[in-house]
Amino acid sequence: MTPGDNGASTPEDDDPFGYLYADGQARGAQPPSGGYGYPNSVSRVRTVGERSYGAQQAGQGVPQQGAYGQPNAHYQAPETLPGGAPASRRPAAPAPGRRGPNTKGLLIGAIAVVAAVVIGIGVAMINGNTDDDKSGNEAGSTPTQSQTSSPSPSGSGSATSDSMQSDASALTPAGGASTASEVKGATSSDGSYVTGLNQPGASVSWNVNAPSDGPYTLFVYYSAAGDDQSMSVTVNGTPFGSKLGLENYRHAKDGDFANGWTRSYVWPTLKQGSNTISISCGSGDKCNVLISNVKLKPGQVKKDS
């Protein structure tokens, strides 16, 4: 063996194309005639199926494949083997469909919007009514100085010791009028009232101190029974300009003064300091009333409290 030469070729080292190269020809390679082209080359031509794999020969444990197109006697389907694939595959669950719109949530949202609108309208109406009430209590509202106005029925009006209000017992009757207390229900603090006003020239007067010049509201608390009544008003000897309406708001029957107590008002203009206000039965007046007390408030208002 020469250096670099590993000796005679073995079947694994044979080059079937060695005859094409100079070194192969130097080793005596010839064109193939059954072997690989080298001297003493091993012929590997075998019958198909006769080659052994790991010391097993054909027919000794290695199943042979049948002819093309013919069933193989050694073949078994995977599902017939122990632990093999199941006979049928379980179908995959269908993908969930797309959900429709949340109609319940939309309905709740719509109801909330409607409720908010209704609440807003209600608040606006309440605020509007409040503004109307305030405007009715401000000075300068109608009726004017030459007019009178009669309110809706009211049983309130009990007088106190305030200098801007007075019971009948502190008023000055004249012309046949007098003070009494037999009829029940009078709104004065002591139950007193002025009677006998239903005759020409009869009157009742009140001396009051006004804190400043300007318009005021004179509230008169009275009882009327039967027909509506009206009387004349003078301020410091000057006629007010129109009648004081004394209507039968309680719808009391004729003579039933106990159930006819209510109030009315006019808007006179007073001067600062002492003023005399008179309510009298003048020409053309109807004066069948009882007057229990009077009250004065600055400005032209419609409420006595």
Residues 6+ positions from 139 with CB-CB distance below 8 Å = 214, 215, 298, 299, 300, 301
High-pLDDT (> 70) share of the chain, %: 55
Q: What is the pLDDT of residues 217-226, one digit of tens each?
A: 999 999 999 9
Q: In sequence order, what DSSP letters do the residues of 227-239 get, joined into one string?
A: S-EEEEEEETTEE
In this structure, the strands spanning 193-195 and 269-270 are unpaired
Establish whether the linkage from the previous residue to 143 is cis, with ω within 30° of 0: yes
Closest CA to 288 of 233, 219, 205, 230: 230
Q: φ and ψ at 247, to 5 degrees?
A: -85, 155
Radius of gyration (Cα) for the chain, nearest Å? 64
Measured in Å, how far apart are the chain's first and last C-alpha atoms? 142
Q: What is the pLDDT of residues 97-119, one digit of tens each?
A: 555 556 777 788 888 888 887 78
Asked if pLDDT for residue 140 goes beyond 60, the answer is no
In this prediction the pTM is 0.51
Averaged pLDDT score across all residues of the chain: 74
Asked if pLDDT for residue 15 goes beyond 80, the answer is no
What stretch(es) of the chain map to CATH 2.60.120.260? 148-298
Asked if pLDDT for residue 13 goes beyond 80, the answer is no
Please list the residues that pair with 215 across neighbouring strands: 269
**Class of the CATH-defined domain 148-298:** mainly beta
